Amino acid sequence: MSFHMKNLHARRGLQAAAVSLFALLAGVAHAEWGLNMTQGVTILSKKIYGLHMLIMWICVILAVVVFGVMIYSLINFRKSKGAEPDKTLLHSTKVEIVWTVIPIFILIGMAVPIAKTLIEIEDMGNVDLNIKVTGYQWKWEYEYLGQNVSFCSTLKRDSNAARQLDSGIDPKSIEHYLLDVDNPLVVPAGQKIRFLLTAQDVIHAWWVPAFGMKKDAIPGYVNEIWVQVDADKVGTYRGQCAELCGQDHGFMPIVVEVKSPADYDAWLRAKQAEQKLANVAPNATAVTASAAAPVTQQ
Predicted local distance difference test score (pLDDT) of residue 18? 54
On the question of pLDDT at 87 being above 80, the answer is: no
Distance CA(18)–CA(9), nearest Å, equals: 14
Q: At 181, phi and psi to the nearest 5?
A: -130, 165
At 220, is the secondary structure helix, strand, or coil?
A: coil
DSSP bridge partners of 224: 196
pLDDT tens digits, 257-282: 999 999 999 999 999 999 988 887 65
End-to-end Cα separation, the chain, in angstroms:
127
Asked if omega into 140 is within 30° of 0 (cis), the reply is: no
Rounded to an integer, the average pLDDT of 98-113 is: 93
Predicted local distance difference test score (pLDDT) of residue 294? 42
The enclosing H or E element of 279 equals helix 261-292
On the question of pLDDT at 122 being above 80, the answer is: yes
Predicted local distance difference test score (pLDDT) of residue 262? 97
Burial 144-169 (b: 16+ CB within 10 A, else e): beeeebebebbbbebbbebbeeeeee
On the question of pLDDT at 96 being above 50, the answer is: yes
On the question of pLDDT at 241 being above 90, the answer is: yes
Rounded to an integer, the average pLDDT of 49-57 is: 94
On the question of pLDDT at 287 being above 50, the answer is: no
Predicted local distance difference test score (pLDDT) of residue 250? 87
Strand pairing of 253-259 and 235-241?
A: antiparallel
| Angle in degrees, 0-180, between the axes of helices 43-76 and 93-121, rounded to the nearest 10 | 160
Task: Enumerate residues 6+ apart whose C-beta is below 8 A from 291.
Answer: none
Q: What is the CA radius of gyration of the chain?
A: 30
The enclosing H or E element of 64 equals helix 43-76
Residue 290: band (very low, low, confident or very high) from pLDDT cuts 50, 70, 90: very low
Q: At 227, phi and psi to the nearest 5?
A: -140, 135
On the question of pLDDT at 124 being above 90, the answer is: yes
Q: Which residue has the higher pLDDT, 169 or 278?
A: 169
Task: Enumerate residues 6+ apart whose C-beta is below 8 A from 265.
Answer: 188
The top-scoring range by mean pLDDT among 7-21, 221-235, 243-257, 269-283 is 221-235
The enclosing H or E element of 194 equals strand 193-199
Secondary-structure breakdown of the chain: helix, strand, coil percentages, each rounded to the nearest 5: 45, 20, 30
On the question of pLDDT at 51 being above 80, the answer is: yes
At 239, is the secondary structure helix, strand, or coil?
A: strand
Please state the length of the chain. Answer: 298
Burial 173-201 (b: 16+ CB within 10 A, else e): ebeebbbbbebbbbbbbbebbbbbbbbee
Least confident segment among 2-6, 70-74, 186-190, 195-199: 2-6
| The model's pTM | 0.76
Residue 15: band (very low, low, confident or very high) from pLDDT cuts 50, 70, 90: low
On the question of pLDDT at 5 being above 70, the answer is: no
Write the CA distances from 71 to 58, 76, 114, integer angstroms.
20, 9, 32
When the pLDDT of each residue in the chain is averaged and rounded to a whole number, the result is: 86
Residue 77 DSSP one-character state:
S
pLDDT tens digits, 179-237: 999 999 999 999 999 999 999 999 999 999 999 999 999 999 999 999 999 999 999 99
Predicted local distance difference test score (pLDDT) of residue 291? 43
On the question of pLDDT at 42 being above 80, the answer is: yes
